[in-house]
Amino acid sequence: MSTSTPPQKTLSRIAANRLQKELSEWQINPPAGFRHRVTDNLQRWIIEVNGAPGTLYSSEQYQLQVDFPENYPMEAPQVIFIQQPPCHPHIYSNGHICLDILYDSWSPAMTVSSICISILSMLSSATQKARPPDNDRYVRNCRNGRSPKETRWWFHDDKV
Amino acid sequence: MNSEAGGGSEEDRPRDDEILAFHHAIRAADAEKLEFVGDKEPLSVLAMEYEAGNPVFRAKVENLSQTYSAIRRARGDGNCFFRSFMFSYLEHILETKDEAEVRRVEKNIEQSKKALIDLGYQEFTFEDFLSIFVEQLESVLPGRETSVDIDLLVEKCRDRYISDYVVMFFRFVTSAEIRRRAEFFEPFILGLSNMSVQQFCKASVEPMGEESDHVHITALSDALGVPIRVVYLDRSVGADGKNTDVNHHDFVPTEGSNVDIPPVVLLYRPGHYDILYTRTDEDLSHVGRHDKVTGRQLVKEDGNAAAQNVEELNYVQAEAT
CATH code of residue A43 = 3.10.110.10
Domain region containing A58: 13-142
Q: Does A151 touch chain B (CB under 8 A)?
A: yes
In the prediction, which pLDDT does B294 show?
A: 38
> Is A73 inside any structural domain?
yes
pLDDT at A8 over 80: no
Q: Which amino acid type is present at position B71?
A: I
Q: How many cross-chain Cβ pairs, A to B, lie less than 8 Å apart?
A: 72
Taking the CA atoms of B113, B114, B119 and B120 in sequence, report the sign of the dihedral they define. Answer: positive
Min distance A131 CA to chain B CA atoms (Å): 9
Chain B residues with CB under 8 Å of A106 CB are 207
Verify whether the Cβ–Cβ distance B1 to A139 is below 8 Å: yes
Q: If you measure CA to CA, which chain A residue comes closest to B11?
A: A141
> Is A156 inside any structural domain?
no
Distance from C-alpha of B229 to C-alpha of B106, rounded to nearest angstrom: 21
> Is A102 inside any structural domain?
yes
Chain A residues with CB under 8 Å of B3 CB are 93, 136, 139-140, 143
Q: In what order do the strands lie in the sheet with A34-37?
A: A34-37, A44-50, A61-67, A78-82
> Is A71 inside any structural domain?
yes
- From first to last of its 321 residues, chain B has per-residue pLDDT tens of 333 333 344 455 666 666 666 666 666 666 667 899 999 999 999 989 888 888 888 899 999 999 999 999 999 999 999 999 999 999 999 999 999 999 999 999 999 999 999 999 999 999 999 999 999 999 999 988 889 999 999 999 999 999 999 999 999 999 999 999 999 999 999 888 889 999 999 999 999 999 999 999 999 999 999 999 999 998 888 777 778 888 999 999 976 556 678 999 999 998 899 999 999 865 544 444 443 333 334 443 333 443 333 333 333 333 332
Residue A57, phi then psi, degrees to nearest 5: -105, 15
Q: Which A residues in the span 27-66 are in contact with B, Cβ-Cβ below 8 Å? A: none
Range of weakest confidence among A10-24, A140-154, B31-45: A140-154
The domains of chain B are located at 37-320
Q: If you measure CA to CA, which chain B residue comes closest to A139?
A: B3
Chain B residues with CB under 8 Å of A111 CB are 122, 125
Verify whether the Cβ–Cβ distance B5 to A136 is below 8 Å: yes
Min distance A48 CA to chain B CA atoms (Å): 23
Across the range A139-156, mean pLDDT stands at 80
**Residue among A25, A74, A104 minimizing CB distance to B164:** A74
Beta bridge partners of A81: A64
Q: In what order do the strands lie in the sheet with B228-232?
A: B37-42, B68-74, B272-278, B264-269, B228-232, B247-251
Task: Give chain A's domain count.
Answer: 1
Verify whether the Cβ–Cβ distance A109 to B125 is below 8 Å: yes
Residue B10, phi then psi, degrees to nearest 5: -65, -20
Q: If you measure CA to CA, which chain B residue comes closest to A18?
A: B124
Choose the mutation target among A88, A111, A150 for the interface with B, i.e. most B CBs under 10 Å: A150
Residue A115 and residue A102 in contact, taking contact as beta carbons nearer than 8 Å: yes
Chain A residues with CB under 8 Å of B208 CB are 74, 107-108
Annotated catalytic residue within A87, A98, A116, A142: A98
Verify whether the Cβ–Cβ distance B5 to A140 is below 8 Å: yes
Residue A136, phi then psi, degrees to nearest 5: -65, -45
> Is A4 inside any structural domain?
no
Across the range A72-100, mean pLDDT stands at 95
Chain A residues with CB under 8 Å of B79 CB are none
Beta bridge partners of A66: A45, A79
Distance from C-alpha of A45 to C-alpha of B263, rounded to nearest angstrom: 46
What is the b/e burial string over B244-282, where b = at least 16 CB atoms within 10 angstroms of the residue's CB? bbbbbbbbbbeeeeeeeebbbbbbbeeebbbbbbbbeee
Min distance A10 CA to chain B CA atoms (Å): 16
Do the strands B228-232 and B272-278 form a parallel or antiparallel pair, or are they unpaired?
unpaired
**Residue B26 neighbours by CB under 8 Å, 6+ apart:** none
E-assigned strand segments in B43-119: 68-74
In the prediction, which pLDDT does B240 show?
A: 77
> Is A150 inside any structural domain?
no
Q: If you measure CA to CA, which chain B residue comes closest to A76?
A: B207
Q: Does A134 touch chain B (CB under 8 A)?
A: no
**Residue among A106, A111, A141 minimizing CB distance to B207:** A106
In the prediction, which pLDDT does A91 show?
A: 96
Integer angstrom CA distances of residue A31 from A47, A83, A95, B58, B65: 11, 21, 21, 58, 57
Element (H, E) at A81: strand A78-82
Distance from C-alpha of B49 to C-alpha of B45, rounded to nearest angstrom: 6
> Is A70 inside any structural domain?
yes
Q: Identify the three-state secondary structure at position B177.
A: helix
Chain B residues with CB under 8 Å of A21 CB are 124
The average confidence (pLDDT) of chain A is 90
Verify whether the Cβ–Cβ distance B206 to A109 is below 8 Å: yes
Chain B residues with CB under 8 Å of A135 CB are 1
In the prediction, which pLDDT does A128 show?
A: 94
Q: Which amino acid type is present at position A149?
A: K
Do the strands B264-269 and B228-232 form a parallel or antiparallel pair, or are they unpaired?
parallel
In the prediction, which pLDDT does B296 show?
A: 37
Integer angstrom CA distances of residue A37 from A85, B25, B244: 17, 38, 65
Question: Nearest Cα to A116, choosing from A42, A18, A22?
Answer: A22
Beta bridge partners of B266: B230, B275
Residue A27 and residue A6 in contact, taking contact as beta carbons nearer than 8 Å: no
pLDDT at A106 over 70: yes
pLDDT at A160 over 60: no
* CATH superfamily assigned to domain B37-320: Peptidase C65 Otubain, subdomain 2 (1.20.1300.20)
In the prediction, which pLDDT does A34 show?
A: 97
> Is A8 inside any structural domain?
no
Q: Which of A38-42, A136-140, B158-162, B188-192 has the highest mean pLDDT?
A: B158-162
